[in-house]
Amino acid sequence: MASNSFGKIFRITTFGESHGTGIGLIVDGCPSGININVNAIQTDLNRRRPGQSTITTQRKEKDEIKVLSGIFENKTLGTPIALIIYNKDHKSEDYTHIKNIFRPSHADYTYDVKYNIRDYRGGGRSSARETLARVAGGSIAKMFIKQIYKNIKVNAFVSRVANIKINKNIHELDLSKIDDNIIRCPDQNISQLMIELIKKIKKTGDTVGGSITCVIENCPPGIGDPVFDKLHANLGKAMLTINAVHAFEYGSGFDGTYLKGSEHNDIFILNKEKNITTKTNNSGGIQGGITNGENIYFNVGFKPVATIIKSQKSIDNNNNVVDCIGKGRHDPCVLPRAVPIVESMTYLVLADHILLNKTVNIKNF
């Protein structure tokens, strides 16, 4: 119900402010008997960690995962799994200068209007540190899914930084090479251009946005639910809840809306194994909200980071005009660190729909 939970059966509930005791979550509804490798959760968190490369913030945060409950002898018990990452690298003094200031395009003003109180330190609950909990939860979801569908693969990658973008089709890319560069773009040439652009932007104290593309391979057909739980609608919601996301499209996306029906329709054919497949995949693997067995793919648009190391005018909570200067160590571009977040939210959506799907057909009983 409340706004810090996500999912129906496989459900995470997250907590934590940026400069409070820690960021954590409860995963409720994860089946019993799942093998859990805590190191693998840590590995996923490390992909999101600040300070991992020259193009991310230089803050050092270890972001070490601690298990509080629900796992016993490396297996899930079927009871709620509570996880926490204690906050370590507090520099709350970095924020006292903005205690009463509404930073442009942040959530300071809207939180103040809504709640009449705000933990101003590091953005409090509106900080992107909140996504730590998503990555930890997604990691559990991944372990669950992989135990059933070994071949499912979820790969997100940076497909565009400002106007520098991959010009290849997804099937031309080697998705195993995503982590071969610090921007997490599988096209190695384009990745270098992206990195150069970010470095240039960073020097000016400015920031830059772009797109992340995500591909789900080998998802079985039948996942997703009609009407209000269409798979793509839940993926879209999941992505739009990530800080800085302004846009979502799946399958042919906005481009496909320029086509005619006769061009856009995916004709059903039989493949060599005499299984039903489609000639094209404008549907992005989802028809009527339910997977058809083809690859699922979608794009997520991230606005440029709002915190810039440049003076901006703003207003404080006494209606004074003030100068607002971003101190601290911030990301010039969130995209490389957002890649694991996009994957995690995808796993969470899939896990929930896989569980739901178990209940919809008498044949499963």
Q: Which of 39, 93, 117, 323 binds a copy of itself (CB under 8 A)?
A: 117
Q: How far is the CB of 341 from a copy of itself (least distance, A)?
A: 13
Question: Given the complex with a copy of itself, which of 15 and 40 has the nearer CB atom?
Answer: 15
**In whole angstroms, how close is the CB of 100 to a copy of itself at the nearest point?**
13
Could you report how far apart the first and last alpha carbons of the chain are, in Å? 29
Give me the half-sphere count of Cα atoms (radius 13 Å) on the Cβ side of residue 234: 27
Rank residues 67 and 193 by Cβ distance to a copy of itself and give the closer one.
Answer: 67
User: How many angstroms separate the CA atoms of 10 and 31, rounded?
Assistant: 9
- What is each CA distance from 164 to 158, 230, 343, in whole angstroms? 10, 32, 22
Out of 141, 208, 338, 341, the residue judged to bind a copy of itself by CB under 8 A? 208
User: Which DSSP symbol is given to 92?
Assistant: G
Torsion of CA 121, 124, 127, 131, to 10 degrees: 130
Residue 116 near a copy of itself by CB under 8 A: yes
217-231: string of b/e by CB count within 10 Å (b at 16+)? bebeeebbbeeebbb
Instruction: Specify the stretch interacting with a copy of itself by CB under 8 A; choose among 36-44, 47-55, 177-185, 216-224.
Output: 216-224
Select the residue interacting with a copy of itself from 50, 138, 209, 336 (CB under 8 A): 209
Binding of residue 55 to a copy of itself (CB under 8 A): no
- DSSP 8-state assignment for residue 129: G
Which one of the spans 37-45, 56-64, 91-99, 275-283 is the region binding a copy of itself (CB under 8 A)? 275-283
Question: Looking at beta carbons only, is 180 or 220 nearer to a copy of itself?
Answer: 220
Q: Quick one: which of 65, 107, 183, 198 contacts a copy of itself (CB under 8 A)?
A: 107
Contact positions with a copy of itself (CB under 8 A) in 302-341: 302-308, 310, 312-315, 319, 321
- Sorted by sequence, the CB contacts under 8 Å of residue 127 that are 6+ apart come out as 17, 18
CB of 176 to a copy of itself, least distance (A): 26
CA distance 343 to 337: 11
